[in-house]
């Protein structure tokens, strides 16, 4: 993606969201996925909580990662990419003062949009059962604190509700409307279960705020094409699990083959060449630096 140094990434994201095409944001979970997705020229990237916690800690996305651990990941991913980063901040990692610290920390680390959800602590991963939500007035206060905490007015506050699965779509929409009234820049109704529900969300909230749809492979929400979601009123669609599920399946195939065949020979799986991997990770810059500063020493 071509860098636009005179425009902040948050401002670029707002411009893309207001455009004629829906923003398609792939999930990233480590620096390899981040650098690769960034090279593809997407208008935004989505730092998935599930994938980031899994890759960093090897633990489920169940409120186990701390603010300090996650803000460090935000800094690494935003610092190593050019596309605007939408970052999962769970519940804000505590009460109202924690939300303030989270927003300021995520923003300083480079996040263009910061997602806060209404689950009770410890939170659970979206598209799983048993999620409980806090009273509406509590999450509305968190949204207001988050909006006040940001240093740059273009930084987007994404308000997510997990009410649909336990309390039904009417309650989720009631919360979404309250989020809009509170001033949220984007509303995220997690895990609607039919195309009709997606249409209802778009009809109720589309146009009054930016609207996000979450697409999870074999999740609770039926997948329809991004352009169709745009027609329903959505501005951005995220695919948080695509990369880490694809990578895990590929790793399983590769490791199983190596264990059985005791060699890479015959592996029916595409592999990046060493030259491609070196390019992706920035080795040419290292080699240019070494040459310029004669790091290897004078051959004479």
Residues 118 and 258 placed together within one structural domain of the fold: no
User: pLDDT by residue (tens digit) across 56-98?
Assistant: 999 998 889 999 999 999 999 999 999 999 999 999 999 999 9
Question: Which stretches of 89-241 are assigned E, i.e. beta strand?
Answer: 113-117, 156-161, 186-189, 210-214, 236-239
Hey, is 31 helix, strand or coil? helix
Estimate to the nearest angstrom the gap between the alpha carbon of 4 and the chain centroid.
21
CA distance readout (Å), 189 to 95, 112, 239: 22, 20, 15
Residues 131 and 13 placed together within one structural domain of the fold: yes
Give the chain's largest Cα–Cα span: 77
The angle that helices 96-109 and 136-149 make with each other, rounded to 10 degrees, is: 40
Residue 297: inside a domain, yes or no? Answer: no
What pLDDT is attached to residue 74?
A: 98
* Total tally of structural domains belonging to the chain: 2
Contacts from 265-270 at CB under 8 Å and sequence distance 24+?
none
- How big is the chain by its Cα radius of gyration, in Å? 21
Please give the Cα distance from 202 to 22 (Å, whole number).
13
Beta bridge partners of 237: 24, 213
Percent pLDDT > 90 in the chain is 87
Contacting residues for 124 by C-beta, under 8 A, at least 6 apart: 61, 62, 63, 130, 131
Hey, is 238 helix, strand or coil? strand
Residues 145 and 107 placed together within one structural domain of the fold: yes
Residues 114 and 260 placed together within one structural domain of the fold: no
CA distance readout (Å), 230 to 17, 214, 242, 248: 10, 13, 20, 30
Hey, is 226 helix, strand or coil? helix
Residue 120: inside a domain, yes or no? Answer: yes
What pLDDT is attached to residue 211?
A: 98
Estimate to the nearest angstrom the gap between the alpha carbon of 140 and the chain centroid.
22
Residues 55 and 172 placed together within one structural domain of the fold: yes
Residues 137 and 72 placed together within one structural domain of the fold: yes
Contacting residues for 21 by C-beta, under 8 A, at least 6 apart: 227, 230
User: 62 versus 138: which is more confidently predicted?
Assistant: 138
Residues 158 and 265 placed together within one structural domain of the fold: no
Phi, psi for residue 251 in degrees, rounded to 5: -65, -40
And the tokens for 84? Answer: 């605007």
User: What number is the average pLDDT over the span 283-299?
Assistant: 83
Residue 149: inside a domain, yes or no? Answer: yes
What pLDDT is attached to residue 130?
A: 67
Residue 2: inside a domain, yes or no? Answer: no
Residues 229 and 104 placed together within one structural domain of the fold: yes
Please give the Cα distance from 186 to 176 (Å, whole number).
9
And the tokens for 252? Answer: 């399983």
Does the pTM surpass 0.95? The reply is: no
The angle that helices 67-79 and 49-57 make with each other, rounded to 10 degrees, is: 100
Percent pLDDT > 70 in the chain is 94
Residues 182 and 261 placed together within one structural domain of the fold: no
Residue 284: inside a domain, yes or no? Answer: yes
User: What number is the average pLDDT over the span 145-172?
Assistant: 96
Residue 299: inside a domain, yes or no? Answer: no
And the tokens for 229? Answer: 């979601």
Which burial class, exposed, middle or buried, applies to 195 when counting CB atoms under 10 A from its CB (0-12, 13-18, 19+)? middle
Residues 124 and 213 placed together within one structural domain of the fold: yes
What pLDDT is attached to residue 294?
A: 84
274-289 core/surface letters (b: 16 or more CB in 10 A; e: else): eeeeeeeeeeeeeeee
User: pLDDT by residue (tens digit) across 107-136?
Assistant: 999 999 999 999 988 776 666 666 889 999
Q: Are strands 236-239 and 210-214 parallel, antiparallel or unpaired?
A: parallel
CATH number at residue 198: 3.20.20.60
What pLDDT is attached to residue 1?
A: 47
Residues 150 and 253 placed together within one structural domain of the fold: no
Residues 259 and 226 placed together within one structural domain of the fold: no
Residue 87: inside a domain, yes or no? Answer: yes
Domain hosting residue 13, numbered range: 9-242
């Amino acid at each position: 993606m071509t860098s636009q140094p005179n425009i902040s990434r948050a401002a670029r994201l707002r411009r893309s969201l207001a455009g004629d095409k829906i923003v398609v944001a792939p999930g990233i979970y480590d620096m390899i996925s981040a650098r690769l997705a960034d090279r593809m020229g997407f208008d935004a990237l989505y730092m998935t909580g599930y994938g980031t916690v899994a890759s960093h800690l090897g633990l489920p996305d169940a409120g186990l990662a701390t603010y300090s651990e996650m803000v460090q990941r935000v800094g690494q991913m935003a610092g190593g990419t050019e596309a605007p980063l939408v970052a999962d901040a769970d519940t804000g990692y505590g009460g109202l003062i924690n939300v303030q610290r989270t927003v300021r920390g995520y923003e300083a680390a480079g996040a263009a949009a910061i997602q806060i959800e209404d689950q009770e602590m410890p939170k659970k991963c979206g598209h799983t059962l048993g999620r409980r939500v806090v009273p509406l007035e509590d999450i509305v206060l968190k949204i207001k604190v988050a909006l006040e905490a940001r240093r740059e007015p273009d930084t987007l506050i994404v308000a997510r509700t997990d009410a649909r699965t336990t309390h039904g779509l009417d309650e989720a929409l009631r919360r979404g409307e309250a989020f809009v009234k509170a001033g949220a820049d984007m509303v995220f109704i997690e895990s609607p279960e039919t195309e009709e529900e997606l249409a209802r969300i778009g009809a109720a909230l589309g146009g009054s705020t930016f609207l996000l749809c979450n697409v999870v492979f074999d999740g609770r929400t039926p997948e329809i094409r991004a352009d169709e979601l745009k027609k329903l009123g959505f501005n951005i669609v995220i695919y948080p699990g695509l990369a880490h599920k694809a990578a895990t399946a590929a790793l399983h195939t590769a490791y199983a083959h190596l264990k059985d065949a005791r060699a890479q020979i015959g592996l029916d799986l595409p592999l990046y060449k060493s030259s491609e991997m070196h390019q992706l990770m920035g080795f040419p810059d290292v080699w240019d630096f070494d040459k310029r500063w004669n790091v290897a020493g004078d051959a004479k």
